[in-house]
Copies of this chain bind each other. A is one copy, B any other.
Amino acid sequence: MPRKPTQKRAIVTVDAIVEAGFMAVASHGLAGATTRHIATLAGISVGSLYEYFANKEEVYEAMNRKLVEDIIGTIKPLIPSLTHMGIAEAIRTMLHAVGALLRRDNNRYLQCARHGIQSDIKADLTPINRVLIELMMQYLMHHPRYARLINLSAFSYIAINGGMFTLMKHLNEENPSISYDKLVDGLANMMAHYADGELALLEKP
């Protein structure tokens, strides 16, 4: 029965555990991370970990929530400015921001991604999807000509799954065959051409 962390100290401890969770998974992998690793990294005892989380799984869920929260916190504030850019530039801007987030704190998030944190945990990525859809809606209001054509769900599906994953994969590679900027450019251009190409088809078939 995990305690509700109402006191200041308790909240600090909960945060420390989540941080330690990222560190532990980063160094030992999802399966290799033990509760003792996490507790030690958080500077507490195993028992204390279980004061705040009913089990290991709950720690992982909290980690996932934190990651999703941070990604959303990165994208959302950018929306107003993104809507005034061209597709390619908007995507490029967004990907660079997310890339920076993933590399923060010694690549903490990145290392977790490498170990597939999203495969075993009930990673609820729908909040990210929601933000991206909101971004699109805003974008369409400023660029109404795209409104006719884009299959919103397909576009977002490919963007979030293909785009994000490719980005993560690249950030994780030790000797990537292409540079990060080249990759981001490639993804941005691809999406832009996709949209414009489909639009062209519609306009003069």
Question: Number of A residues whose C-beta is below 8 Å from B?
Answer: 38
Known contacts A165-B161, A197-B192: does B120 contact A186 (CB below 8 Å)? no
Number of copies: 4
Which of A153, A161, A162, A189: most chain B Cβ within 10 A? A162
Closest chain B residue to A165, Cβ basis: B165
B contact residues around A170 at 8 Å (CB)? 157, 161
B contact residues around A186 at 8 Å (CB)? 151, 154-155, 157-158
B contact residues around A154 at 8 Å (CB)? 178, 182-183, 185-186
Report Cα–Cα, A155/B192, bound state, in Å: 15
B contact residues around A29 at 8 Å (CB)? 120
What are the 7 tightest A-B residue pairs by CB atom distance, in nearest-first order?
A193-B197, A116-B119, A162-B162, A162-B166, A116-B116, A190-B194, A154-B186
